Amino acid sequence: MSVLPKMPASWRLETKPHKFCPGCGHGLILKALGEAIDELNIQDRVVFGCDIGCSLLSWDFFNVDTIQTHHGRTTPVVTGVKRARPDRICIAYMGDGGGYAIGSQHLVNAASRNEKITLILANNCNYGMTGGQMAPTTLPGMKTETTPYGRDVEETGYPAQGPEMVAAITRENAYVARGTVANVRQLKGYIKKALLNQMERKGFSFVEALSGCPTNWSTNAKETWEFIEKTMPKYFSIGEIKTPESKEAK
Amino acid sequence: MPDKPIEGLRRVFMTGNEVVAWAALAAEADIMYGYPITPQNEVMHYWTRLAPKYGRSFLQTEDEISAGFTTCGGVLAGKRAFTATAGPGNTLMQESITMAEMMRIPIVQVVQQRGGPSTATVIYSQQEVTMTCYGGNGEGLRIVYSTSSHQELFDYTIKAFNVAWQHRFPTCVLGDGYQAKMRESLFIYDPAEKDIEMIKTYPFVGAEGKPGIEREPSHLRNTYNTEEELNDVVNDLIKAYDAVASQVVESQSFSTDDADIVIIAHGVVTRAAQAAVQILREKNIRAGHFRPVTLRPFPAGELKKIARTAKCFVVAESAQGQLRKLVTDAIYGEKVPILDYYKPGKGITAEELVDYISKI
């Protein structure tokens, strides 16, 4: 006898099991998002946008209206929807390449314009879909297909600090946090707050989620988990970075 | 809030950019997304002054990539949305235009061509023909109107919204810096005055009802797993486009029936060509003129007919053969010789055409 795992009500069962690699973090982030949508009871009001890269595999993931866009362009598409339909709850979902490299101008400007949208970004230290190249978030010394001898910080800099940057350029009503798939309950809490911040029309909200990519990291389950839980937080501090109540934390 | 931006029919003296803003207002456009670039800026300047008075919106984006994609978002949300750009901005916008043609998103784009390649001048050219018709990775499944006057800028901007929403292909009004910046007299009007009914828009996402329970979710994608799957999708798109093409294709012919020499020109150059034909006829030179109004789809059928009777074609354009490529492709197999009159990034007058043709 098999027992079906408990899935969020807003997930689309017909498209499960999902298309992500075994051990990928996207499923966990989208589980946190699905539960947040359920608990806020907003399934009928959400417009979900996903990027190019692995995040595009979520184009039929939910029973919510979804637009899959181009690399980095989810932010402007979702901004366009929100500007035209302020009553919708608009979510832009992307990876670190889409948010911090090819679409960074959109992230910076959506944040500084205080767009009333929620951006959720999966940080897995590399470009997954294209086969594991260096991303803005690749750790110093980390080997990728384009840094085969390890990321040399003298040549290519240090890992991008996305939430910290967003916190620095937004005003007091923004919500900015960094969660991790190693703590889905906490991540869900951040995502819920980010959605509520949009629903209350306070301001831009942004959640980065530390995530895993065993396929391109070439790690087994134990190593993957250690990397997410122990190594990544050395460079990416987990927690709320800016909340409308507390202004800038830390 | 006043009901209608324009009551009845009004004679005005305006710049082309102002005309575009008024046309979009009259066409019940809900929102403009835009980014500053000369010579299109005043479309935004007039829109931002006028729009709030009629409950319309504007967003100044961070670049033309964003302007194109936010326009897609606005349309997907069910609004009559448009953008305007020029030159390098048009280059950046091609990415979103290809998404619009693949996902059948009826965006309207106004282009006021400037001199190129790249930034070059902010003045005038016809060098954005290839890009506006075929830019980006794809098959150029879009509708492009090349206007020649302020009256046409007004008429075709209104028409572009309806054509886009009726057929669900991105639609472009291709003007230029001369049309954008110069003043000309024209009639602006409420579309109802001319029995033009604006097509009702509808949302592609964000409809009422709980997705998956009360209705199917709208899952819009442009990602396919196999060659066969994609090929089917593109074949269907092309079939749909070809069916639309015969309905929207437009051209004008001037004294071509008995013409030996036919000038082919589009956009403002048609005005020089029309005047040249008149002067040449007075000199007993049997000249005619053919003008494609839609550059995409191209009026190949009409031009082929003329190719069978004319002795010579002269392609006149403010670019180095971008129109000529469309012409050559359209009349492939016909024997008529084609002469070129190219002035990339520079205007063309009737007098110089008369001069050139008199010497043939």
Which residues does B contribute to its contact with A (CB < 8 Å)?
Answer: 30-31, 33, 57, 59, 61-63, 65-66, 69-79, 81, 95-96, 99, 203, 205-214, 217-223
Judging contacts by C-beta atoms under 8 Å, the chain B residues touching residue A83 are 31, 33, 57, 59, 70, 73-74
Residue (of A15, A19, A44) closest to B217 by Cα position: A44
Print pLDDT tens along chain B (360 aa).
677 999 999 999 999 999 999 999 999 999 999 999 999 999 999 999 999 999 999 999 999 999 999 999 999 999 999 999 999 999 999 999 999 999 999 999 999 999 999 999 999 999 999 999 999 999 999 999 999 999 999 999 999 999 999 999 999 999 999 999 999 999 999 999 999 999 999 999 999 999 999 999 999 999 999 999 999 999 999 999 999 999 999 999 999 999 999 999 999 999 999 999 999 999 999 999 999 999 999 999 999 999 999 999 999 999 999 999 999 999 999 999 999 999 999 999 999 999 999 999
The residue among A98, A87, A14, A103 whose CA lies nearest residue A47 is: A87
Spatial CA neighbour of B96 closest among B87, B86, B83: B83
d(CA B96, CA A48): 18
Strand partners, A94: A121
Of B31, B96, B206, Cβ closest to residue A88: B206
A146 located within any domain? yes
Pairwise CA distance, residues B354 & B360, whole Å = 10
The enclosing domain of A85 has a CATH number of 3.40.50.970
In a domain, A63, yes or no: yes
* pTM attached to this predicted model: 0.96
In a domain, A120, yes or no: yes
The size of the A-B interface in CB pairs under 8 A is: 141
Chain B contact present for A106, CB below 8 A: yes
The answer to whether residue A4 is domain-embedded is no
The domain ranges of chain B are: 9-194, 252-358
Query: What topology is assigned to B9-194 in CATH?
Result: Rossmann fold (3.40.50)
Could you tell me if residue A186 is inside a domain?
yes
Q: B70 to chain A: nearest residue by CA?
A: A80
In a domain, A29, yes or no: yes
Residue A41, φ and ψ in degrees, nearest 5: 55, 55
User: What domain range includes position A241?
Assistant: 16-248
Contact A77, B59 (CB under 8 A): no
Q: Is there a domain that residue A86 lies in?
A: yes
A225 contact B CB<8A: no
Cβ atoms of A122 and A100 within 8 Å: the answer is: no
B269-297 burial code (b ≥16 CB/10 A, e <16): bbbbbbbbbebbeeeebbbbbbbbbbbbb
> Taking a C-beta distance cutoff of 8 angstroms, is the pair A54, A24 a contact?
yes
In CATH, the architecture of B252-358 is 3-Layer(aba) Sandwich (3.40)
What is the number of domains present in chain A?
A: 1
The yes-or-no answer to whether B9-194 and B252-358 have a common fold is yes
Distance from CA of A165 to the nearest CA of B (A): 17
Nearest CA in chain B to A11: B212
